Structure 1
């Protein structure tokens, strides 16, 4: 027996206050999402598992189920298979006097639909759009009916292929969104289009079927809790028409915005002779969107700044067939990054995603498909209508986008307003249209110079996140500049996720089509990359200035960058913390006291607030400060060290118990050897380097340094002397492009200390000293410093000072997805333990703002894009005072702002100390 699912979809909100007969009923013929499917009969004409009738879950993409062939939009050779679907269902006898529509939420690409051997209507062309057929006259009631669908992957309309199947994204085939019957009375409400303004003005276009003279259309508003709001609006039908418009005025509605996503229900009814014939409930929000020329974008009278991301509808195992769980996860990821906007790239999403944007609060740009090519006018006009009538009532949708990056059919620009009573502005992502410059991937100088222009800026794609490049890197600089321009309305980062598909024909490996799909802030299964946390901090609506710990009173300066929220709606707390010592096998930190801070600060304002810390606050290692929003979600947690690097180093060195055994030395050919506490240090007298270290367990994987990073040098002198207290000092001096002095100090009862200084001239990617370790022996690292993610010169935010630990991995960001990456630059080092079995050792520093270089990341396979493969020193274990920035797919680093430039040398010497414990 076939399973039939009854549901009232939230995008229609179909609820009746009358008898069951007056309800509009949805009867699912397919499942509802990727996790709830129904098997249909299926035949694939080409490719995998073709040429035989079998079963396929619906909804789904047939490639992900092992049929046909895979294509990325850039592929020259395209698969052209068809999928033939069959499904038997029973039409209930009680439906015989109803209006019945067969609704498809999305089919790729051309769909020929038959009921009991008869065409339901014209072949539908266009993948991402809801379409329907009236099938009342085709059904057999109280009997089995046969639904047949022939789905052609390639469209018969070449412009549909141009717009949809030649783009920079994966292209699939199949009935990939749900299919259902919409069963209504003969007189029915087909759809509505609402225009509800912030001042309480309300209008609704009600589209009906078979309405008669004398009927009445009524609209009653309710809160989501069912409380009636205002006075009902009525309209008496004198002469039947396809639609009627009802208008009214409501006093002081609760407005919709991303921070306060207030919603209402409009209960629209048709009444005949006092009896309710049909009811439709439509959820909506009161809000007004304005584009004020040469000024900005306003929502409810407030100038907005969009902090957004471009989102593909995608999941590795199911393609573009998704679920509420995935939609919710994606929105929560955006919220966790303190975003307030999302652009639908490059097609309309599932309606359920927009429902969640409405209820949880995100600005949305809803987009007609087109990537550098566009739909022809005849088919484009049909698809614009399907896009708008489905999505018109979502208050989250603030703009329509007519294609992408040149994929604009200008003949369609005026069509949007035919179906949208709100007359939302149409944009052309990538170009300047309707006085909104949506420039993609602007350089820093472009944003600077745009301040002199009169057009509003809204970058619909910015800071391309290929591999580990972009996204967080340079965002801090660019965002500061964007905030300075009063005509800048923000932008959307490219993109939320790596678009990686699990390939049935490649042993279920994840394929991002090289560098085409590896663009995400998160991986295919939403694995968080380092930029995730950088964005979270840079886009925090609460900006905090680090306190001055030199005074007795600790004061934090807060800036409220919310659009609508007073900080009195947020919660603030502090913790004084201690970090574990390197000798303790603990991670994280220990709280020694805590408290709260009350804040009231209007949007756009800055204020200073005293923290009532406990009297022993100077005994703490650090102060942690946390802001939480009104939903209880962490906005951000800042960790500010109180103790200096030197103080932390001394605490740790005192905890290391060393025997005061005699320090001995010897000389061999080209080698000088020092032994202390069972550890033997061998220096190469020809190079001056510490060549090898050996303890009681064997050779330690450490040596060949220190080398001045990125500089050619020659040994000027090598000498060793004994001190009066039984110690030994080994000194090496180098000349060349820069100078380096290295001084190894062996003291009874203490770890060996390397004292070094150098001078370096000229701009460089990095400054500092390096050594070499055997990567094959390294199993992990534990350290006190900023983490757990690596950093770049132009991506220093989003990490936090604590004791971290991570295991070795060889992740290439965007190609493999074990995060955080092990290799790379790590900021603000205090101490580190390099875990390498018998070769494990610890190192401590007194140098503030020192970077630890842990090995060298392997280059991404598309190495021709040098911007996302920054340079590293020749050595693979570095202690650096400056590191390299990273670029993005389209821009080299030095075009992206001040933090993205090479490092400029200082005239004075740079000096530091490192203590090594090889026992």
Structure 2
């Protein structure tokens, strides 16, 4: 190799001497928010056939070039992008220079000053680099030319990467930079640091002459030395050297306590020739046959989701801010793990998983198809050598769902001294069962008789508003009773909907292929976010159901792997709610305080004791905060029966006379200046007349989803009140009694009996959707619920404007339409006159209209549950929701239809139109 004098402008200054450390010069920008314009030519599609400029890094489709394709498209574009960029030089002596690409889609040919830098790189998600020292001019400008073919010349690369169930893009989508090192340098290291304090490190130096010494010093991440340096003599023949040391009682790494260290490794000969710094964590991983997955000697349950590297405006080009947001959202959901689906992420994402604490399954690309051996062996090396030192990585995944080249399985251990387990996602392999989308019966069977360590790498498919948190509670109970269960990974983290630059900024999820996230494209939270947060809480509280007696002693269980609950904080808040229409705030705090944290180690059950409260309050909020000070969850409990609210409603000062009369088959009952109109032929309320307006509440109460016939309709004055009664018979029966009392809301008592199981049960009314503008209610919210997704919501006063959001297609959350739980009262805001309905019963659900149908709904209707054909419902039973692949009925006990009762069901509403 010839030696020349280089001229390079560096963005980083090394205070310890230029000869010692690797220097980096970015030729591109660093992320989606910091880009550099390069010359660009696109061969086909939009903005093709002319030289222009493009931001680097980026996916060119998102910059207005070429053609969009989803992996399922049978006909795909194959445009080519040509990039040019000139960079300057300043004198630097006796160095080697590499050009590094963090990721380029897909076949990438690199030229420096019209000379090839090396072989064409194939594979879109991997770091690769070329030694370009011999191609650089000693002075003046150097020309970088990069040709990127969106479609690979290798058919297996196309099959593995570009026929997949995700968006496929083109372009240099991760940073490009120069890496400058001395002639003698350390190429990489591979660290194996165990929980017992032992440390082994493979060091890969280059161009040794013989007689050099390897020196390593472990430090805290802020540079404080830990222990003494450890060294090893080198030779000029060996490819690598293994350094060893032992440390007493190091702080261990886990998601609960992500303790990191760093090691400074140098090669010396009289002076330090080159040194690098590598972060790592002490921790031990064990997959124990018929026992489970263990970290640092503790059985560990993985609670994770699958994550695409994705942002709607920039595709696969992300930023530290996006990575940080995603990890914080995962940890807010009480997740401790993430699966890289279905390709290696940005290295910076893994850095943050290390520092913030998140287990990672890192995956070689291969979606139901595999790389061939020629390209696969190289890509495994690129994957593992880049990521081997991250303590967050617990498994390597060799492709996905049949995309496994089994000839590559043994390659991972070549580069990984930790010998992490290699899995085949969705298969039984290497002592694991990672079955995708098991139904509830499979969960039961696995818990009863499964031999493998069980952790589905995809389950609870979250298409539209289905799955994810819906059905999870039943599934999780089976996972926790599995003698060697190890958790699971929900599909998926976000809706992968791009903002189409060719369609006026329209969000596109490719029909029903991509709207399957727990969050929207910009990380808008869906209801399942909060259900997961409660179900996966590492602190399990068994608050008694609303309405049951409560002595202030709460069963509690520590579901952390490492933390003691005495490292957590518990606080209570007592809440008083106002009534609808009162000028005061919706709620006020009447008392708050802290509780004594119980001394309970991982897996231990105990109790949490509340003090005796002497104040009058409506609801209890109980909050837990983890060792990191962040909220684990806030549980809420109602202390008073709903009906007391209606009795507290201020009455009119003067009672009015109640009157009734019939005309044209319509009964009108007048009370407090309001006329209530009933149809004698059906017995239904038809409208309410007040002052100069009408309220179009009608066609009820009817028995939800059941056809009945009016048997009799009666009305009479009784003890100063007026009574209207109706009796309906059919397959099921309904009895209705209206009581009008001057100065009070109208009381509606109803009793029904149903003989068969049903999607929903209760009574309904009609009200024109076009006249509804919003609602305010006291109940659990602010999100809608399903029968199999009741957890996660908080009891309080909530207000929502009307919207027609379709989960996964539009993102105006929380959705307005749907079922709402434990409603005590609701104000129906409308264009006529607002009115309030109070309930007198625990566990009343409000049906607010029916959700709009998804544009690309599945034919099986799994994720479009049944609703009563009515506008408003006051229900005792509601529908469950399924997933993309399973009907609700296959998801467990909570997901079944509502069973009939051997007794009649009675309820009471108070309607206030005053």
Q: Same fold (TM over 0.5)?
A: yes
Q: Which runs of 5+ in 1 are unaligned?
A: 9-15
Secondary structure in 2 matching 1:699: strand
Secondary structure in 1 matching 2:457: strand
Note the alpha carbon deviations across 1:461-481, whole angstroms, 9 max, x for none.
010000000001011111011
Does the 8 A contact of 2:544 with 2:550 survive in 1?
no
Number of the residue aligned with 1:272: 269
Q: Which runs of 5+ in 2 are unaligned?
A: 1-6
Q: CA deviation at 1:3?
A: 12
Does the 8 A contact of 1:583 with 1:656 survive in 2?
no
Q: CA deviation at 1:588?
A: 4.9
- Distance in 2 separating the partners of 1:649 and 1:606: 40
Number of the residue aligned with 2:409: 413
Q: CA deviation at 1:847?
A: 1.2
> Do structure 1's residue 75 and structure 2's residue 73 form an aligned pair?
yes
Number of the residue aligned with 2:773: 779
Q: CA 1:832–1:362 in structure 2 vs 1: closer, same or farther (change >3 Å)? A: same
- Distance in 2 separating the partners of 1:769 and 1:660: 30
- Distance in 2 separating the partners of 1:223 and 1:770: 65
- Distance in 1 separating the partners of 2:795 and 2:670: 35
- Distance in 2 separating the partners of 1:99 and 1:659: 95
Q: CA 1:326–1:730 in structure 2 vs 1: closer, same or farther (change >3 Å)? A: same
Does the 8 A contact of 1:578 with 1:592 survive in 2?
yes
Number of the residue aligned with 2:3: none
> Do structure 1's residue 281 and structure 2's residue 286 form an aligned pair?
no
- Distance in 1 separating the partners of 2:236 and 2:175: 37
- Distance in 1 separating the partners of 2:792 and 2:528: 7
TM-score normalised by length of structure 2: 0.97
Does the 8 A contact of 1:777 with 1:839 survive in 2?
no
Q: CA deviation at 1:389?
A: 0.2
Number of the residue aligned with 2:18: 20
Alignment of 1:371-410 (within 5 A): 371-410=367-406
Alignment of 1:651-690 (within 5 A): 651=648, 653=649, 655-657=650-652, 659-690=654-685
Does the 8 A contact of 2:761 with 2:876 survive in 1?
yes
Does the 8 A contact of 2:8 with 2:91 survive in 1?
no
- Out of 845, 851, 858, which is 1:851 matched to? 845
Note the alpha carbon deviations across 1:105-124, whole angstroms, 9 max, x for none.
00000000000000000000
Q: CA deviation at 1:594?
A: 1.0
TM-score normalised by length of structure 1: 0.97
Number of the residue aligned with 1:572: 570
Alignment of 1:184-333 (within 5 A): 184-273=181-270, 275-333=271-329
- Distance in 1 separating the partners of 2:719 and 2:267: 103
Does the 8 A contact of 1:212 with 1:237 survive in 2?
no
Does the 8 A contact of 2:201 with 2:242 survive in 1?
yes
Note the alpha carbon deviations across 1:85-143, whole angstroms, 9 max, x for none.
0000012221x420111000000000000000000000000000000000011001231
Alignment of 1:446-845 (within 5 A): 446-451=442-447, 452-547=449-544, 553-584=551-582, 588-599=586-597, 600-616=599-615, 619-651=616-648, 653=649, 655-657=650-652, 659-725=654-720, 727-845=721-839
- Distance in 1 separating the partners of 2:577 and 2:138: 74
- Out of 891, 894, 908, which is 2:903 matched to? 908
Alignment of 1:417-456 (within 5 A): 417-451=413-447, 452-456=449-453
Q: CA deviation at 1:182?
A: 0.3
Number of the residue aligned with 1:42: 40
- Distance in 1 separating the partners of 2:404 and 2:654: 76
Secondary structure in 1 matching 2:451: coil
Q: CA 1:363–1:264 in structure 2 vs 1: closer, same or farther (change >3 Å)? A: same
Number of residue pairs the alignment of both structures matches: 904
- Distance in 1 separating the partners of 2:657 and 2:794: 41
Question: Cα RMSD over matched residues?
Answer: 1.5
Note the alpha carbon deviations across 1:483-527, whole angstroms, 9 max, x for none.
011211000000000001010111011100011110000000000
- Distance in 2 separating the partners of 1:3 and 1:39: 19
Secondary structure in 2 matching 1:354: helix
- Distance in 1 separating the partners of 2:647 and 2:457: 51
Q: CA 1:72–1:675 in structure 2 vs 1: closer, same or farther (change >3 Å)? A: same
Q: CA 1:883–1:3 in structure 2 vs 1: closer, same or farther (change >3 Å)? A: farther
Secondary structure in 2 matching 1:790: strand
- Distance in 2 separating the partners of 1:474 and 1:431: 23
Q: CA deviation at 1:658?
A: 6.4
Q: CA 1:308–1:588 in structure 2 vs 1: closer, same or farther (change >3 Å)? A: farther
- Distance in 1 separating the partners of 2:30 and 2:779: 47
Number of the residue aligned with 1:13: none
- Distance in 2 separating the partners of 1:625 and 1:589: 16
Number of the residue aligned with 2:4: none
Number of the residue aligned with 2:58: 60
- Out of 337, 361, 366, which is 1:365 matched to? 361
Secondary structure in 2 matching 1:827: strand
- Out of 11, 19, 40, which is 1:6 matched to? 11
Q: CA deviation at 1:20?
A: 2.4
Q: CA deviation at 1:678?
A: 2.0
- Distance in 2 separating the partners of 1:606 and 1:168: 43
Q: Would you identify which runs of 4 or more consecutive aligned residues in structure 1 move more than 4 Å?
A: 2-5, 547-553, 585-588
Does the 8 A contact of 2:880 with 2:897 survive in 1?
yes
Secondary structure in 2 matching 1:418: helix
The more displaced of 804-813 and 658-667 is 658-667
Does the 8 A contact of 1:91 with 1:139 survive in 2?
no
